Amino acid sequence: MKSWKRWMALALTVIVLSATAACGQKKTQQGQTEQEKTEQGSMENSGSTKDLSWLDSSGALPIVAEGMEKTLKVYLRMADGVVSNPEEFWMFDFIEDVMNIKLEITPLSGENRDEKISLAFASDELPDLILCAGLSASELVKYGAVEGQILDLAPYLNETYMPNLTAIYEKKPELKSIVEDSEGHVWSTGFVRDPDEIAVIPQVFFNYDWLEECNMEVPETLDEYYNMLTAFKQLDAKSYPVGGAWNGHNPGFYILNAFGYVGGDEKGLSIALRNGKVVLPAADREAYGAYLTFMKKLYEEELIHPDFFTMDINTAEATFKEGRFGTWDSMVSLYTNDVSPWWGAIPLTSEYNNTAQWPVRANASSCGQGVVTSACEEPELACAFLDWFYTYHNYFVAANGAIKDVDPDEWLCGAGGRSLDETGNWVHNDVVNGVDGWADGGTYLVNKIRLIPAANLGSYIEDGDERETELYPYVKDYEGVTDISALRSDETLLKNTWWYCIMCLDRTLSPYRTTEVFPGAVYLDGDTTERLAGMKTAIDEYASQETAKFITGARPLEDLDSYFDEIERLGAAEYVQVYQEYYDAIQ
């Protein structure tokens, strides 16, 4: 029965997409649609008539033959908090010196990403590649299927041009569905990881030292969570027990989950499931008002920071490092070397939610991170460049740097590389040796090595390459140990802080994991995509503004009915209904 429903859903989507795209596409002077022109060019370019003797797309380096000069123009969404220019990164030198590809990079930030992407497509002044900008499925359909401004990668997804990614999709075809629309077009590549991996669940940590000092157990209900927060505040009046801010390490995902929302995002602005039904949390009359009421109480009692809505991510991280937060929603090992006070949270129940469950990230594997535009004159080069990132070792090279005395010396490109220390932790030799005064490995990593932000592009799936350490080496070793205090004081784990955090997740949140989440990528027809995009823009703006007002007290909670009336007027009910029908069809 489920197979039949999937087949019908696919057939209907194909019919609608074909009809809509044919009506909505721009025509060239010769009467071709832009997409027809793009697809024809793709097939011609991927044929054998082109001289590609300079290109090695097998995954070996260099990609471009010595003596040849090739350039790719790139829009790159840089990681938040980065202060270095793209040209200052080791990876920039690696791409130019080892791959033999010159990059002309236009950096994007969280603040200007939307504006620059929209302007580039509207003006048709496009780069060759758009990297790590996280184009949504709706944006990919709009600019790919409708406007013909994104290249379909399907003709290049083969052993000739993209052998690494092709091999992954052959082994795990479910991952290909994330980037493939209903007509078989592939408008982008993304980040791929095994759905059974421990770290695909969102992370939440509590300060267990504070819990012990307050003589409290780990909270299992929303009321117990509130009691823990008030106890933390009494412990240290200068603390803000709930870590993070609206725009950086937002704790909303964990709290929304306590009200029964499974999946979605930390701001309540993405589709989630609640009691098996599709909902948009910020438009849900059943529980979102109660969530706002709870958050207002936290704000009034300074259990969250008074600058919660204005604090940027750097300030939030600095406040964490000062020891003023009692909860944190990211791997604590990334922000402190002393992880011993921290251990994992568990999902909460409440009067609105009687089932403790914790969703895998719907976007753990993603689309929209590697986009080749129709302006690219050498798509084979762009595809070979993207494909290089799709091995386990290459992903870690891009994310963490080359391994000294293991990778070829020329890969170091003047940097010290990384090595395993005596505890089994990766360290950067430049930091260890005090080169250029780098204060710590994290700062060095994000401002010197990692040009391509982590978990955006490439493969995090183990493939047997022994140059990298096993993904979770300690989980099996400690399988029989149940004493949390023993684990928190274990010297081996404390020296391997990343694995310590993985152990936390394995023992706390992971047992509650559920894969029943709304899909991270939904490919609808062009007209529906554009209509929903317009609704979402209006809904997001209104909901974000009014949520802040309700929580800070600028708008009274008595106005909640008016708020929900207005958000429905903006199209929230129709927005949810489209996704409910889509979800029903794929079950």
SS3 (DSSP) at 389: coil
State the DSSP code for 394: H
Residue 155 domain-assigned (yes or no) = yes
Cα–chain-centroid distance for residue 464? 25
Q: Is the dihedral of CA 231, 233, 239, 242 positive or negative?
A: positive
Q: What pLDDT, on a 0 to 100 scale, did the predictor assign at position 368?
A: 97
Assess contact for 300 and 292: CB atoms under 8 A: no
Examine the domain organization and report whether 126 and 215 are in the same domain. no
Cα–chain-centroid distance for residue 358? 17
Looking at 374, 393, 412, the residue that finishes a domain is 393
Q: C-alpha angle with apex 399: 79 to 362, nearest 5 degrees? A: 70
Residue 429 domain-assigned (yes or no) = no
Tokens linked to 70:
């090739």
Each residue's pLDDT tens digit in the chain (587 positions)?
A: 333 333 334 333 433 333 333 333 333 333 344 444 444 444 444 445 789 999 999 989 999 999 998 999 999 999 988 889 999 999 999 999 999 999 999 999 988 999 999 999 999 999 999 999 999 998 999 999 999 999 999 999 999 999 999 999 999 998 998 999 888 999 999 999 988 888 889 999 999 999 999 999 999 999 999 999 999 999 999 999 999 999 999 999 999 999 999 999 999 999 999 999 999 999 999 999 999 999 999 999 999 999 999 999 999 999 999 999 999 999 999 999 999 999 999 999 999 999 999 998 877 899 999 999 999 999 999 999 999 999 999 999 999 999 999 999 999 999 999 998 887 778 999 999 999 888 788 889 999 999 999 889 999 998 988 888 776 777 778 888 889 999 999 988 898 888 899 999 999 999 999 989 998 889 988 788 889 989 999 999 999 999 999 999 999 999 999 999 999 999 999 999 999 999 998 88
DSSP H stretches of helix in 445-511: 484-488, 491-495, 497-507
Q: What pLDDT, on a 0 to 100 scale, did the predictor assign at position 471?
A: 67
Closest CA to 359 of 521, 518, 252, 513: 513
Closest CA to 522 of 261, 206, 140, 150: 140
Rounded CA gap, 49 and 550, in Å?
63
Rounded CA gap, 91 and 354, in Å?
48
Examine the domain organization and report whether 154 and 227 are in the same domain. no
Residue 527 domain-assigned (yes or no) = yes
Q: What pLDDT, on a 0 to 100 scale, did the predictor assign at position 45?
A: 46
* Residue 372 φ/ψ, nearest 5 degrees: -100, 125
Say how many domains are in the chain: 2
Examine the domain organization and report whether 216 and 125 are in the same domain. no
Examine the domain organization and report whether 172 and 231 are in the same domain. no
Residue 1 domain-assigned (yes or no) = no
Print the domain residue range for 562: 205-359+481-586
Examine the domain organization and report whether 352 and 488 are in the same domain. yes
DSSP H stretches of helix in 151-192: 163-171, 173-176
Which residues sit opposite 373 in a β-bridge? 150
Examine the domain organization and report whether 190 and 295 are in the same domain. no
Residue 566 domain-assigned (yes or no) = yes
Rounded CA gap, 416 and 429, in Å?
5
Tokens linked to 502:
């993985």
Instruction: Please name the residues in contact with 166: beta carbons below 8 A apart, sequence gap of 6 or more.
Output: 157, 158, 159
Residue 420 domain-assigned (yes or no) = no
Examine the domain organization and report whether 234 and 107 are in the same domain. no
Rounded CA gap, 587 and 9, in Å?
10
Say which CATH number the domain at 213 has.
Answer: 3.40.190.10
Examine the domain organization and report whether 212 and 355 are in the same domain. yes
Residue 319 domain-assigned (yes or no) = yes
SS3 (DSSP) at 361: coil
SS3 (DSSP) at 113: helix
Instruction: Please name the residues in contact with 421: beta carbons below 8 A apart, sequence gap of 6 or more.
Output: 427
Q: How many helices (H) and strands (E) does the chain have?
A: 22, 15
Examine the domain organization and report whether 352 and 376 are in the same domain. no
Rounded CA gap, 333 and 343, in Å?
11
Examine the domain organization and report whether 372 and 496 are in the same domain. no
Rounded CA gap, 390 and 170, in Å?
13
Closest CA to 463 of 411, 389, 533: 389
Residue 317 domain-assigned (yes or no) = yes
Examine the domain organization and report whether 265 and 389 are in the same domain. no
pTM above 0.85, yes or no: no
Examine the domain organization and report whether 581 and 499 are in the same domain. yes
